[in-house]
């Protein structure tokens, strides 16, 4: 692979084990403890673009990704469930290991000396098929919660996006990867309530994602 590497990727997978904890009412619901709420499992899909630095820093990279999931709030007793959509834009710092490496010939150049001796200069680079990686970064979350025609939103909420995965290169340009992600953010959403005041919720959002996808490197 070249010493400087840029990639684009698409992925899809599964959101599980989500919850909104320490839930409190806001507005005219202020002071009301709504209990922790479990989130339903859901599909997740998205894409990313990234760049690894060259030379001695080729183990370090930066990445931007965006993904969407719908881990709806599950019904709890007599409290009805709600539709929840979360879109995440994340900016990550990535570190990787390079395993299963071999040397690839990049090009050869014929040369000759004045004595009439001919030879070739061979330029090689390292190609590593298996690359575990991990990363952490800023997640910017856009959440929308709706029920019976009413909706509350909280946009551009900063939070945590952490990930770990492994990438396998079929060729120097195409790789398959599997990845785990963890998200955390504090949502504070409100809307117009039936009494003319603002009503909504505030709580700690947590979600886990397992995804797989293809990446293209150049």
* pLDDT per residue as tens digits for the range 49-62: 999 998 889 999 99
The residue ranking higher by pLDDT, 179 or 55, is 179
56: region left, alpha or beta (phi > 0 left; psi from -120 to 50 alpha): alpha
What local confidence, expressed as pLDDT, does residue 42 receive? Answer: 98
Q: What is the percent of the chain where pLDDT is above 90? A: 57
DSSP state at residue 194: T
Say if residues 176 and 165 touch (Cβ distance below 8 Å). Answer: no
At residue 175, what are phi and psi to the nearest 5 degrees? -140, 150
Helix count (H) and strand count (E) of the chain? Answer: 0, 10
Is the pLDDT at 63 greater than 60, yes or no?
yes
**Residue 185: HSE in the Cβ half-sphere, 13 Å Cα cutoff:** 27
pTM assigned to the model: 0.84
What local confidence, expressed as pLDDT, does residue 133 receive? Answer: 98
* Cβ neighbours of 78 (radius 10 Å): 5
Domains observed in the chain: 5-101+128-217 (2.40.160.20)
What local confidence, expressed as pLDDT, does residue 54 receive? Answer: 81
Per-residue confidence at 202, pLDDT binned at 50, 70, 90? confident
What local confidence, expressed as pLDDT, does residue 28 receive? Answer: 42
What local confidence, expressed as pLDDT, does residue 197 receive? Answer: 41
Per-residue confidence at 193, pLDDT binned at 50, 70, 90? very low
């Amino acid at each position: 692979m070249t010493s400087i590497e840029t990639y684009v990727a698409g992925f899809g997978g599964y959101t599980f084990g989500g919850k909104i904890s320490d839930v409190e009412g806001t507005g005219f619901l202020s002071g009301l403890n709504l209990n922790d709420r479990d989130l339903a499992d859901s599909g997740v899909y998205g894409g990313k673009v990234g760049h690894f630095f060259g030379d001695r820093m080729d183990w370090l990279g930066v990445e931007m990704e965006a993904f969407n999931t719908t881990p709806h709030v599950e019904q709890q007793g007599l409290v009805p469930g709600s539709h929840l959509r979360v879109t995440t834009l994340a900016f990550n710092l990535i570190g990787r290991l390079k395993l299963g490496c071999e040397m690839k010939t990049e090009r050869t150049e014929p040369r000759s000396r004045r004595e009439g001796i001919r030879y070739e200069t061979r330029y090689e680079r390292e190609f590593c098929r298996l690359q575990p990686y991990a990363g952490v970064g800023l997640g910017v979350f856009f959440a929308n919660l709706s029920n019976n025609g009413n909706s509350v939103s909280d946009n551009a909420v900063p939070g945590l996006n952490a990930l770990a995965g492994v990438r396998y290169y079929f060729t120097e340009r195409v790789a398959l990867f599997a990845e785990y992600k963890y998200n955390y953010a504090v949502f504070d959403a409100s809307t117009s309530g039936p009494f003319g005041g603002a009503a909504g919720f505030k709580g700690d959002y947590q979600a886990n994602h397992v995804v797989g996808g293809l990446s293209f490197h150049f």
